[in-house]
Amino acid sequence: MSFQATRPNLLAAPAVAWLVAFMVAPCLLILGYAFFERGTWGGVVYTFTLENFARVVDPLYARIFLNSARIAATATVLAILIAYPAAYAISRAPKSRQAILLFFAVLPFWSNYLIRTYAWIVLLNREGLINTVLRWGGYEGEPLSMLYSEGAVIVGLVYNYLPFVILAIYSSLSRLDMSLVEASRDLGAGPVRTFLRVTLPLTLPGVAAGGVFVFVLSIGNFVTPALLGGGRFQMIGNLVYDQFLTASDWPFGAALGMILIAIMIVLLTLQARATSRASGTVREAQR
């Protein structure tokens, strides 16, 4: 209550104005576009229609949606399965080393996304490093074509978002009240049971935060399917891109974008609810 001399709303005003003008207004604009028809030569004709949303359930597009959801879900599960043990190991490392381990786990996340994705082209292509290493190892068959596949897209997504999941799960683990774990062990539960009944449930908020993040960013991803899927694996993000840059069907692209936003809002709300429920459980457990 000490910088009361300054007015909070006044301080926040410039940034809020910026976000409203350049984020909220554009999003509302395309929300509007989603309900209009496309012009014959591109552009938007202001006649109300629900056609753009109806097209989403058209088998052609519904398949892309389901594919995207499956790829995103697989990437999410894999990222959590890799990140949890890593975050756990960091949280059990000596206190003095945790910060540095965490920093290096997260560092790649802040470097160029395109380059991190490109690195996998270098590894996976037919003349790439993995095939070269296999040949050194005595493999004589056809080089493996690993690039331009669903698997490559999933690997790319997991690779790119893993650092954030490690960070999210670590922050849950580092807040974990160890006395609860000790109590469980003292009461005779084995390490596995203690993990499943105490540690895991208490760190679910971190898992949920990391998982929602990977899923939301994966399902709307454009770069990874374009580069590692070779255009053969269209995801919703690529569909949005095409509507705006090649098909010139802005209203349909806008509708697809709004569906991505809706998915994001639903998942974030569920996650927030799960987190507040989990913190309720912690309070109860500590009582």
Tell which one of 237, 249, 252, 255 touches other proteins (CB under 8 A): 237
Applying CB under 8 A, among 194, 225, 253, 255 the residue interacting with other proteins is: 253
What's the chain's length in residues?
287
Question: Does residue 101 bind other proteins (CB under 8 A)?
Answer: yes
When asked if residue 254 is in the footprint of other proteins (CB under 8 A), the reply is yes
CA distance 96 to 86: 17
- Minimum CB–partner distance for residue 253 and other proteins (Å): 6
**Binding-site member from 223, 247, 274, 282 for other proteins (CB under 8 A):** 223
Residue 55 Cβ vs other proteins, minimum distance, rounded to whole Å: 17
Q: Which of residues 188-207 bind other proteins (CB under 8 A)?
A: 191
Q: Which of 69, 189, 268, 274 binds other proteins (CB under 8 A)?
A: 268
Both structure tokens of 273:
């609810």
11 binds other proteins (CB under 8 A): yes
Nearer to other proteins, 33 or 35 (CB): 33
**Contacting residue, 69, 134, 183, 264, with other proteins by CB under 8 A:** 264
Q: Is 125 in the site for other proteins (CB under 8 A)?
A: yes
In the complex, least distance from residue 95 CB atom to other proteins, rounded to whole angstroms: 10
CA-to-CA distance for 201 and 276, rounded, in angstroms? 13
**What is the C-alpha to C-alpha distance for residues 239 and 260, in angstroms, rounded to an integer?**
12
- Report which DSSP code applies to 233: S
CA distances from 212 to 17, 75, 191, 266, 277 (A): 28, 11, 28, 10, 17
The least CB distance from residue 125 to other proteins, in Å, is: 7
Stretch that binds other proteins, among 51-59, 61-69, 198-206, 234-242 (CB under 8 A): 234-242
Say whether residue 4 binds other proteins (CB under 8 A): yes
Q: Which positions ≥6 away from 81 have C-beta within 8 Å?
A: none
User: What is the rounded distance in angstroms from the CA atom of residue 217 to the CA atom of residue 223?
Assistant: 11
- Residue 15 touching other proteins (CB under 8 A): yes
Instruction: Specify burial of residue 38 (Cβ count, 10 A radius: 0-12, 13-18, 19+).
Output: buried
Report the C-alpha gap between 129 and 86 in whole angstroms.
Answer: 26
